Amino acid sequence: MTSRLPGFHKLSSAQRRVQLAKHAGLSEEEVSWFERALPVDVRDRLVENVVGSFALPLGVATNFIVNGREVLVPMAVEESSVIAAASHGAKLARKNGGFTAHAAAPVMTAQVQLVDVPDFGIAQRNVHASGEAIARAARAAAAGLEKRGGGYRGLKVRTVDTQTGKCLVVHLYVDVCDAMGANAVNSVAEAVAPVLADVTGGRALLRILTNYADERVVTASAVFDKDELGGAPVVADIVRAWAFADADPYRATTHNKGVMNGIDAVVMATGNDWRAVEAGAHAWAARRGHYRSLTTFTVNEDGNLAAQIDLPLALGTVGGMTRLHPAAQASLKLLGVKSAGELAEIAASVGLAQNLSALRALVTDGIQEGHMRLHAANLALAAGVPADRVDEVVEKMLSSGQVPSMSGALDVWRTLAAP
């Protein structure tokens, strides 16, 4: 099987679903969830005051090879050109074997904040001396994870100066296996808090995970051929554009937003927590005291473009929405992932492909050419242009040289539809 699906974008939605079903062995029931609304009983269990559901387009990025495996990547996203850009970046990476990625062990961190501590030096020594008692409480709270080979992995003690005074913070490290891990980690924090309060003489205040999952970092890399990118000058300009983002927070914010366009779409499609992923990624980008690029681009000894991304990705393939949402289950089956780490490796590769495509467009023709064509089509549909005439209206709008707008689409359509 290959993720190269020439002409896939020209098929109807129904034809694409048939092709995906054959590719991933999806049943008719499974593939149908790509277009069906979430059942009422599931919606009512997920959130409060349910009145319906809100759908996003679910597309598939093609051309990906990650760690030697061909992958079709489901992406839930509302922004035009995101999936096309990811697919194009993946296609450019294929000549040199696609993406190589590695995910660290799925260790999440719980924080227990202790206030009113009488002596911080003594408190820290007592925490370390009470390691066995802390471990017993943590392992009891994470018994399910312990059975699956995960569970408690140790602790770290910090002091933090705040505007309301100094506090002691204990980090508890938990291997959450193939889960995102929030509920398990929070349970460990709450179970260990009384032990920590007792040995420090303080009061346990906050007991909760951190979404800055810096123990769970994923790295992905690829080499892009200089000739396929447009030659050595284009490679040099991509590196210059990246260096700008790495130096300037104003540029880095938009640069990293583009990275997350790809990653978030994979996270959404698989039922994971994109807000947690976003928060962790941006904290990671600022970890050196200056908000920087999540990616790195250099020219290698052959004159080709070497690219890398690293960021924390706390993703799961079991539990939560990944278990409850049938479309998320179908997306995971389409991906063919066997672990949360493998899912994170693919998501990071998508972010890198997305970023490469954006930078190449920015330093050559500009970002608007391809994006505006898709945007114009959306505007035409919103203006009421029949689907079979949208392309005609788009061509007229773009050839006029004006910025596409809904009113412009309507004017063009009225002209074309006039007797």
- Provide the pLDDT for residue 388: 80
Which is more confident, 154 or 391? 154
Q: pLDDT digit string (tens) for 246-269?
A: 999 999 999 999 999 999 999 999
Instruction: Average the pLDDT over 175-199 and give the result.
Output: 97
Which is more confident, 230 or 47? 230
Q: Where are the domains of the chain?
A: 8-103+217-365, 107-209, 369-417
- Provide the pLDDT for residue 373: 67
Provide the CATH topology of domain 8-103+217-365.
3.90.770
Whether residue 31 has pLDDT greater than 70:
yes
Which is more confident, 28 or 71? 71
pLDDT band per the 50, 70, 90 thresholds, residue 80? confident
Task: Say which range, 113-117, 181-185, 251-255, 374-378, has the weakest mean pLDDT.
Answer: 374-378
- Provide the pLDDT for residue 380: 81
- Provide the pLDDT for residue 372: 67
Q: pLDDT digit string (tens) for 289-335?
A: 999 999 999 999 999 999 999 999 999 999 878 888 899 999 999 99
Is the C-alpha dihedral spanning 336, 338, 342, 343 positive or negative? positive
Instruction: Average the pLDDT over 332-342 and give the result.
Output: 96
Instruction: Average the pLDDT over 107-114 and give the result.
Output: 98
pLDDT band per the 50, 70, 90 thresholds, residue 395? confident
Q: pLDDT digit string (tens) for 91-101?
A: 999 999 999 99
Task: Say which range, 48-52, 172-176, 190-194, 320-324, has the weakest mean pLDDT.
Answer: 320-324
- Provide the pLDDT for residue 386: 86
Provide the CATH topology of domain 107-209.
Alpha-Beta Plaits (3.30.70)
- Provide the pLDDT for residue 46: 84
What lies within 8 Å, CB to CB, of 147 at 6+ separation is none
Instruction: Average the pLDDT over 281-289 and give the result.
Output: 97
Under 8 Å between Cβ of 56 and 269: no
> What rounded mean pLDDT belongs to the chain?
93
- Provide the pLDDT for residue 23: 87
- Provide the pLDDT for residue 370: 58
Residue (of 177, 174, 142) closest to 155 by Cα position: 174
- Provide the pLDDT for residue 367: 57
* Active-site residue set: 79, 257, 273, 371
What lies within 8 Å, CB to CB, of 28 at 6+ separation is 21
Whether residue 215 has pLDDT greater than 90:
yes
- Provide the pLDDT for residue 374: 67
- Provide the pLDDT for residue 77: 95
- Provide the pLDDT for residue 391: 83
Q: pLDDT digit string (tens) for 34-64?
A: 888 888 888 888 888 988 888 899 999 999 9
Angle, helix 82-93 to helix 249-269, in steps of 10 degrees: 90
Q: pLDDT digit string (tens) for 137-159?
A: 999 999 999 999 999 999 999 99
Whether residue 164 has pLDDT greater than 90:
yes
Q: What is the 3-state secondary structure (H, E, C) of the chain?
A: CCCCCCCHHHCCHHHHHHHHHHHHCCCHHHHHCCCCCCCHHHHHHHCCCCCCCCCCCEEEEEEEEECCEEEEEEEECCCCCHHHHHHHHHHHHHHHCCEEEEECCCEEEEEEEEECCCCHHHHHHHHHHCHHHHHHHHHHHCHHHHHCCCEEEEEEEEEEEECCEEEEEEEEEEECCCECCHHHHHHHHHHHHHHHHHHHCCEEEEEEECCCCCCCEEEEEEEECHHHHCCHHHHHHHHHHHHHHHHCHHHHHHHHHHHHHHHHHHHHHCCCCHHHHHHHHHHHHCCCCCCCCCEEEEECCCCCEEEEEEEECCCCCECHHHHHCHHHHHHHHHHCCCCHHHHHHHHHHHHHHHHHHHHHHHHCCCCHHHHHHHHHHHHHHHCCCCHHHHHHHHHHHHHCCCCCCHHHHHHHHHHHHCC
Task: Say which range, 160-169, 225-234, 242-251, 369-378, has the weakest mean pLDDT.
Answer: 369-378
Residue (of 47, 170, 31, 86) closest to 350 by Cα position: 86
- Provide the pLDDT for residue 390: 83
Same CATH fold, 107-209 and 8-103+217-365? no
Q: How distant, in Å, are the alpha carbons of 6, 128, 138, 356, 357 from that of 222? A: 22, 43, 40, 10, 13
pLDDT band per the 50, 70, 90 thresholds, residue 366? low
